[in-house]
Structure 1
Amino acid sequence: MSTTHTDGTHTDTAGTTHTGTAGTGAAGTGTSHTGEATLDRIDRLRLSSVTLPLAAPVSDAKVLTGRQKPMTEVAFLFVEIGTEQGLEGIGFSYSKRAGGPGQFAHAREIADCLLGEDPSDIGRIWTKLVWAGASVGRSGLATQAVAAYDIALWDLKARRAGLPLAKLLGAHRDSVRCYNTSGGFLHTPTEELLENAAAALAGGIGGIKIKVGHPDGRHDLARVAAVREHIGDGVPLMVDANQQWDRPTARRMGRALEPYGLVWIEEPLDAYDARGHAALAASLDTPVATGEMLASVAEHTELIRHGAADVIQPDAPRIGGITQFLKLAALAEHHQLELAPHFAMEIHLHLAAAYPLEPWVEHFDWLEPLFNERLEIADGRMRLSARPGLGITLSDQARAWTVAEHEAGVRA
């Protein structure tokens, strides 16, 4: 058994003395919850704020309604965690248009809470980190900062086991249906939209999603008709209104879109309009998908309680990480909902592979420059690799795009 000394060090069964502040907060207070079952401890971490520039400004319906400006970059919060035994894990969160510096600042404030903790105790660490910043809430920016830590801990646990994360969780499949979004934004002319769809399908993608929500609905219908004719009736096609329709418009557009055999209509209404989504879902043959903008399991639970979605679209970095995603996935399965996680395919491939019902994963090529590895896509599906954990490492380009860093522990 290990012995804890008055100076805070502890000696394990091999006679090795370790340092650490297990169970302590940023101020070094708290009670240790580790004992002889603790075989490793977190002794270092690095935070990186990375700004990814987009090749061209991106517009969806929120831009056309004047609520947002075109998106030119995505801010990422990367967390790299290391342990006394030399293991490492990587996780990330992100923010579009605004919020990136805030995520980094909050993650930096609570960083010391991890030092000395057993990295296997992921659920307890998540709770500890949330309570460290409880005054700013348990959703939104605060838990998105926690998510990066949580994802890194799951990556580390899977690497320790020598397994891809999906296999650690218990995979139901080794590949997942995937659809492309990045080629279908509203700023894209129709001819280019068709070219992008054809290229995505030729590259092995299984489905195509395009943005709708133009102030003139006839423009949306013409684009959907053109894409459907171009790709054929047998190719899965989805549309996404990015919350920009009101209830009457969503009903009219939903009925007008029925002939195109869509897999789903995404975010037809405000993300928090559970009753409106439920009424719409009940009135259409086309499934309704939503959830990507929600920032907690509790918010998703409200959607499910109202029967507001046929397809639920959680985003692990947005709802607090993998620990929270797994809770939501269990609830979604109980209600027999389809699952199509939003963005971050490097994370969501693993989580979708572990979902019992056949899911979808969203393909964005935007993030590829950040990593040394590429995901394999063929025959309409995204495939798991044999690489342990998430199977990703940060590229030199990601390091070059880093705008702020913070280190804690033995490297600090």
Structure 2
Amino acid sequence: MSTVDLIRHVKLSTARLPLTVPISDAKVFTGRQKPMTEVVFLFAEITTEQGHSGIGFSYSKRAGGPAQYAHAKEVAEGIIGEDPNDIGKIYTKLLWAGASVGRSGVATQALAAIDIALYDLKAKRAGLPLAKLLGSYRDSVQTYNTSGGFLNATLDEVKARASQSIEEGIGGIKIKVGLPDSKEDLRRVAGIREHIGWDVPLMVDANQQWDRATALRMGRQLEEFNLIWIEEPLDAYDFEGHAHLAQVLDTPIATGEMLASVAEHKGLINANGCDIIQPDAPRVGGITQFLRLAALADERGLGLAPHFAMEIHLHLAAAYPREPWVEHFDWLDPLFEERLETKNGRMIVPDRPGLGVTLSDQARAWTTDSVEFGA
């Protein structure tokens, strides 16, 4: 079979995934956001003349989903006739097609779904899991659960979910903090630490809701709980404040999930603003961009714990030189036919080619609009 192949068809679709219960983190309790009730997805399905195919997705929590879809519709036709192996070339072409709206945020999150689909396609064509195509360092990654630790849940509910996660082979537990009453935060952390014991990895996430003084005070009080990290103690763009915390606290500082470009992550890295960086491939523009910032992070000796979208990030974490973490969320399970396996505290890289996922009938049912380009 010829190695020359061309993209002949692209389908974009947007779908709304309803959450079982409204979700609240610290941003809700500080009045900055309403409880989250759904996640909006942008899917890209790409097919070549030789019949190879790939799927990728981006997403938005609360606002932004329709904007991602609108931008993708404007530029996607430009990849028809391109060689799907030329992922960097295609990304640059799409970036310039939408250059007037910038190189971060919605503009590149719309491209992420296409970029990820091209990597999925390339790995499938090679008959390899994406991690193997990229050059993996491991066949499984340490994993921790987040979806059971939100602030809308009572402490007893968080404990029950933590026990369930551990029984399912998930290694660590992360809970949300950042309530207006810091004493309640400490009560919840102490309660969950006592419940799971001292051998189970525990993380906390303040979702950017502390000021510098509160973050320092809470960081010192949290030292006794032997946390793996404190996540987003400050505003995501307060690189200097995060750097100070990373310097003076024994507990590692993790942040980066809200940054929307490699350039923003580079600012965080250059400021020594974290011990563990948490990029999100769909948010920074796809796998092409994620790999760029991962190289920068590794050069600085940073830990890696990608945010959300475990179906994508498991492969990227497996290809990171330093031992990483991957975040377990079960929210996306209804979207795909396959499930990721967890065992002995780790998430197993599937042996299926590409990302190893296919869209479910439920994902199709939740689709609210779609558009197609090419034959």
When normalised by structure 2's length, the TM-score is 0.99
In 1, Cα distance between equivalents of 2:364 and 2:230: 38
- Give the CA deviation at 1:128: 0.6
Please tell me the residue identity of whatever aligns with 1:344: A
Aligned with 1:94: secondary structure? strand
- Quote the residue 2:39 is aligned against: 74
- Quote the residue 1:258 is aligned against: 223
Please tell me the residue identity of whatever aligns with 2:140: S
2:255 maps to 1:301 = no
Please tell me the residue identity of whatever aligns with 1:218: K
Aligned with 1:235: secondary structure? coil
Contact 1:38 1:118 in 2 (8 A): no
- Quote the residue 1:166 is aligned against: 131
In 2, Cα distance between equivalents of 1:98 and 1:192: 28
- Quote the residue 1:291 is aligned against: 256
In 1, Cα distance between equivalents of 2:61 and 2:259: 14
Deviations 1:66-119 (A, max 9, x none): 110000000000000000000000000000001111100000000111100000
Aligned with 2:294: secondary structure? helix
In 2, Cα distance between equivalents of 1:346 and 1:193: 24
In 1, Cα distance between equivalents of 2:20 and 2:110: 26
Deviations 1:312-349 (A, max 9, x none): 00000000000011111111110010000000000000
Match among 291, 294, 297 for residue 329 of structure 1: 294
> 1:340-359 residue pairs with structure 2 within 5 A?
340-359=305-324
- Quote the residue 1:49 is aligned against: 14
Match among 77, 81, 96 for residue 112 of structure 1: 77
In 1, Cα distance between equivalents of 2:257 and 2:170: 21
Please tell me the residue identity of whatever aligns with 1:229: E
Please tell me the residue identity of whatever aligns with 2:25: D
Please tell me the residue identity of whatever aligns with 1:252: R
Match among 211, 231, 239 for residue 274 of structure 1: 239
- Quote the residue 1:100 is aligned against: 65
Please tell me the residue identity of whatever aligns with 1:291: G
> 1:4-403 residue pairs with structure 2 within 5 A?
39-403=4-368
Q: Which residues of structure 2 form unaligned runs of 5+?
A: none
Please tell me the residue identity of whatever aligns with 1:396: D
- Quote the residue 1:29 is aligned against: none
Query: Which of 1 and 2 has higher RCO (CA within 8 Å, sep 6+)?
Result: 2
Please tell me the residue identity of whatever aligns with 2:201: P
In 2, Cα distance between equivalents of 1:396 and 1:137: 35
Deviations 1:370-391 (A, max 9, x none): 0000001110000011100000
Percent identity over paired residues: 71
Deviations 1:23-69 (A, max 9, x none): xxxxxxxxxxxxxx960000001011010000000000000011100
Deviations 1:218-255 (A, max 9, x none): 00000000000000000000000000000000000000
In 1, Cα distance between equivalents of 2:233 and 2:148: 20
In 1, Cα distance between equivalents of 2:279 and 2:350: 23
Who wins on radius of gyration, i.e. which is larger?
A: 1
Contact 1:58 1:72 in 2 (8 A): yes
